[in-house]
Amino acid sequence: MCGIASYIGHRNAYPLILEMLKRLEYRGYDSAGIALCSQGKMKIYKEQGAIAALAESLSKQKPKGNLGIGHTRWATHGPATKINAHPHYSQNRRISIVHNGTVLNYYKLKEGLEKAGYEFYGETDTEILANYLDYWQQKNKGKLLSAIINTAPLLKGHSAFVAHDNQEPDSLYACNLGGELFVGRSQESEYFICSDKNALAGYADEYLALENGQIAVIQKDINCCLLNSSSAEELPCSWEKLKASAETLEKGSYPHFMLKEIFEQENVVAKTIDNLINDNGQALNLSLNNWRQKIAKMRKLVIIACGTSWHAGLVAKHFFAELAKLPVYCEYASEFLPESIDAEDIIIAISQSGSTADTLQAVQAAKERGASVISICNVDGSALTRTADVSLLTIAGPEIGVASTKAFTTQLAVLYILSVRFGRWRNQLKANEEKKIWQEIKMIPGKIKKILLSGPEIEKLAKKYKDYPNFLFLGRGQNFPIALEGALKLKEVSYIHAEGLSAGEMKHGSIALIDEQMPSFFIAVKDGQYDKVINNLLEISARQGHIIAVTTDKDQIIIDRADDIIPIPECPPLLYPFLTVIPTQLFAYYVARERGTNIDKPRNLAKAVTVE
């Protein structure tokens, strides 16, 4: 979704902002723009479409300025046109602004401004915000800061913005009202403002995460000062060392980030496990030691997440139910009902980005009910890790492909280890059982590697099946969420319609869809559901449906009942989702490649969904 990249310092801001914006491309956008301040005047350049189009249109002009604000826009208020692209400016062109999030009451503010004689060139809420700041500035005859402080409490929704006033040519104001914004600082006292901390890599040495309700006032060659947006009280700046490296944002020799990230799974799952269990098979401090009492006494566990992270939560339901004997609910964050939550409940919020608006809202609501929140997240310092009571990190490294892959398997690793700890603290598991479990999970990365080697076989299957317009994905038990995940992956990268179903539920309706035009991708491994799954396979083949089955090794019983198989190694039943998901990811990737879609940035999608 929208991205902010801004700069103030001694260098030309243009190439720096352009590069940061390119690093934000993966988050999804449909227009881009940059405003640069030179000799006290802000010049705005914007284009519909890709950043490359913006760069191309500016290749001859070579724009310059030591201060600039840049943006990638994902259209909400008004279509993706050049006029609606950011930066926006006030009617008198004094204030310019880039803005993430939404002003829900924009139309009310607009009415007030219209009565005061303001006119608008576009359809965005951001243009209204620019003029609202101008309105307050004219009223107060003060600095932009006082206009921001007056405006902030009147904005409904969640926003983060960077604003500039031509009358203060050496200052930038960054304000976070429920979005995400990071200020980076280099050793040469340059300041970078970005909505994604990773995009600061190689530029900034330290960063400051702006909390909700904070304004950073940055003055060239002077300093960065942090203020509370409602009281204007000055706050201490807690700079942290920036650890991200620029290389992790490159795809190296892979044609797509999605493929690179699928192949990284062997390694990142191992790293995530090693971060939580040492070589002697002992669980390391999960930063939850003082939660033992709470976990022993808890009433219920509620997992909240969206998309792929929600599928990880559905798998984890099986982990916690079996290993910790806990009542577990896994809810879409956008459908979460806080009314059922109380102070004895524990919430696990799962998110790759840590900036998904629906998840953040649900966490906030759960905290207001007194629940304790554990986050499982891939981005340290994100809004989610800052909001949760305790956070467990996945060590997946930056995930750039919009389709989530390595985040999912690393989330499973943390969830599995956590469920075992819960089991121990709730006296449901013995020490020797725990030790055996650690040994089993340590074998998983090697098994993932074996499946990745079957990439060329899966590529052949993709060629065979690429033209089917619809697909079913089927699984049972802990592999039902993998059916959901497989369908989501195929949909988002290949644009083929796919439905994930519980194989047991199929006969209650969806079986009506089966004919020779409706292939089924079946998870048919040797677990407690095996006999029932064989039955379900027969039900499909009896109706001329084609079957691709993920099997345990080369299982003759399944081979006889499926059209094509993808063998995976054997493992303890509860751990199968770590393995069964890999063929679904590779299948989606190769089908999408055959169909020539934009795999890393599928149409209409954004990496971090920062609007509700």
Residue of 126, 275, 356, 385 that binds ligand M6R (CB under 6 A): 356
Known active-site residue 571: no
Smallest distance from ligand M6R to CB 267, Å: 20
Residues 6+ away with beta carbon under 8 Å from 556: none
**Residue least distant from ligand M6R (Cβ):** 307
Residue of 20, 174, 249, 306 that binds ligand M6R (CB under 6 A): 306
Smallest distance from ligand M6R to CB 464, Å: 24
C-alpha 452/C-alpha 523 separation (Å) is: 17
C-alpha 317/C-alpha 262 separation (Å) is: 24
Known active-site residue 2: yes
275 half-sphere exposure, CB direction, 13 A CA radius: 18
* Residue from 2, 37, 224, 571 carrying the catalytic annotation: 2
402 touching ligand M6R, by CB under 6 A: yes
Residue of 363, 403, 452, 548 that binds ligand M6R (CB under 6 A): 403
Q: Choose between 309 and 584: whose C-beta lies nearer to ligand M6R.
A: 309
C-alpha 598/C-alpha 155 separation (Å) is: 36
Is the backbone peptide bond immediately before 87 cis, with ω within 30 degrees of 0?
Answer: yes
C-alpha 401/C-alpha 16 separation (Å) is: 23
492 touching ligand M6R, by CB under 6 A: yes
Q: Choose between 351 and 536: whose C-beta lies nearer to ligand M6R.
A: 351
3 touching ligand M6R, by CB under 6 A: no
**Binding range to ligand M6R, per CB under 6 A, among 7-15, 338-346, 353-361, 367-375:** 353-361
419 touching ligand M6R, by CB under 6 A: no
Q: Is 27 helix (H, G, I), strand (E, B) or coil?
A: helix
* Residue from 22, 46, 260, 607 carrying the catalytic annotation: 607
Residues 6+ away with beta carbon under 8 Å from 16: 7, 192, 203
Q: Choose between 98 and 484: whose C-beta lies nearer to ligand M6R.
A: 484
609 touching ligand M6R, by CB under 6 A: yes
Name residue 9's amino acid. G
Q: Over the range 163-197, which residues count as b (16 or more CB within 10 Å of their CB) and which as e?
A: bbbbebbebbbbbbbbbbbbbbbbeeebbbbbbbb
Write out the binding residues for ligand M6R, residues 190-209 only, by CB under 6 A: none
Smallest distance from ligand M6R to CB 403, Å: 4
Exposed (0-12), middle (13-18) or buried (19+): which is 442, by Cβ within 10 Å?
Answer: middle
Residue of 6, 66, 309, 409 that binds ligand M6R (CB under 6 A): 309
303 touching ligand M6R, by CB under 6 A: no
Residue of 124, 159, 265, 353 that binds ligand M6R (CB under 6 A): 353
Pair 509, 499: CB distance under 8 Å:
no
Cα distances from 239 to residues 264, 345, 535, in angstroms, run 31, 34, 60
Footprint on this chain of ligand M6R (rule: CB under 6 A) = 306-309, 351-353, 356, 359, 402-404, 488, 492, 605, 608-609
Residues with active-site annotation: 2, 607
